[in-house]
Amino acid sequence: MSDVYSLYLHIPFCRHRCAYCDFNTYSGQESLIPAYVKALCAEIRYVGQTAPYRLPVHTIYFGGGTPSLLPADAIALILKACHEAFDVIPEVEISLEANPGSITFEWLKAVRRLGINRLSLGMQSAHPDDLRLLERQHDFFDVSQAVRWARRAGFDNLNLDLIYGIPHQSLSRWQETLERALGLHPEHLSLYALTIEHTTPFHHWVARGLIPSPDDDLAAEMYEWADERLSQAGFVQYEISNWAQPRGGDLLMCRHNLQYWLNAPYLGLGAGAHGFANHTRTANVRGIKAYIDRLAQLTERPFPLTPATEQAQTIDLLTEMQETMLMGLRLTREGVSQQRFYERFHQAMEEVFGSTISYLVNLGLLEWREERLCLTRRGRLLGNRVFIEFVGETRPR
């Protein structure tokens, strides 16, 4: 059976670029939205036409930026292009990221009718001081109102994004944020430790001593408390930063993100989007105007490249094995399956990484659960320490 694909569609528009964000986003360019949507539809159709066969697609993800800035008719055009270019399965998961302060009830009803069936709201915090420091353009009332509207519009698969380890954020303030998020009864929660990226105002503020650097010990305490509290609330952790509620015997995991963690093929389309297909990693040109101009030319490129592709790298077998290990180990319940690894690479996991695995097991960072290699509880807190052992060498340890 052919691999199923995922589509990542990048929407790079924002009303305001937040102080901690290093994503490919731009404010003040909303006038380019119609031309951008036209270019994105052209890229979708292009890669569909150059693919070796009509690709089956099981997840579509609108990321950003702020995808909720798109009018519903623009989203309809993009989804129409996806259905024309690919074999979109009937049970497709279609996720859309939204900022709580940039949506209306009418818009939510419209996009739900279009087939968007998973909504991810960037709540980040419930505390006004945290939101002010992050330069978020909403408050907790906006979040709770967005959730009410989403439910009335028919959304029954809702994620909230939260950030912990924010400068000046105490453990009790983080606990209050998580409790208020739980009070909104989401099906899914994504919890991210704040990282200071070099290109952001946060990095400049830390360098000048205007805000303190994140406290790693406090962040670890926040993470461990959240894990316990979410377990009490009926959530199941399935990835280092993600928890889901069960429904009908299944977990409401984000199927799109599972595609990344399984190192499975996905097409990244839009300005600055990254993809992985046909053993090739791709990265598109970042600028909105440059992206639009490139898609107006439609120069011939082999699959999975498109006219917008700025970088392409062929991934060799060992690198793909290494990336499969470090991505798969993020899955806290599933880990990396020996059987799946062998079926994919025709080599046993221990044949390739045996000494590295033994080393990390002896450190108490990895453990075997039947036929699966998984992070231990301690390993989840030291994930980067584990992952680095699987990359960067010509041969594994």
Q: What is the pLDDT of residues 177-219, one digit of tens each?
A: 999 999 999 999 999 999 887 788 887 888 888 888 888 899 9
| 101-160: pLDDT as tens digits | 889 999 999 999 999 999 999 999 999 999 999 999 899 999 999 999 999 999 999 999
Per-residue H/E/C for the chain: CCCCEEEEEEECEECCCCCCCCCCCEECCHHHHHHHHHHHHHHHHHHHHHCCCCCEEEEEEEEECCHHHCCHHHHHHHHHHHHHHCEEEEEEEEEEEECHHHCCHHHHHHHHHHCCCEEEEEEECCCHHHHHHHCCCCCHHHHHHHHHHHHHHCCCCEEEEEEECCCCCCHHHHHHHHHHHHCCCCCEEEEEECCCCCCCHHHHHHHCCCCCCCCHHHHHHHHHHHHHHHHHCCCEEEECCEEECEECCEECCCHHHHHHHCCCCEEEECCCCEEEECCEEEEECCCHHHHHHHHHHCCCCCCCCCCCEEEEEECCHHHHHHHHHHHHCCCCCCCEEHHHHHHHHCCCHHHHHHHHHHHHHHCCCEEEECCEEEECHHHHHCHHHHHHHHCCCCCCC
Q: Are 250 and 244 in contact (CB under 8 A)?
A: no
Output 32 or 202, whichever has higher pLDDT. Answer: 32
Least confident of 35-44, 208-217, 331-340: 208-217
Q: What pLDDT score was predicted for residue 332?
A: 95
Show the domains of the chain with their CATH numbers: 5-259 (3.20.20.70), 317-390 (1.10.10.920)
pLDDT in tens, 71-100: 999 999 999 999 999 999 999 999 999 999
- Bridge partner list, 6: 59, 266
pLDDT value at 394 more than 70: no
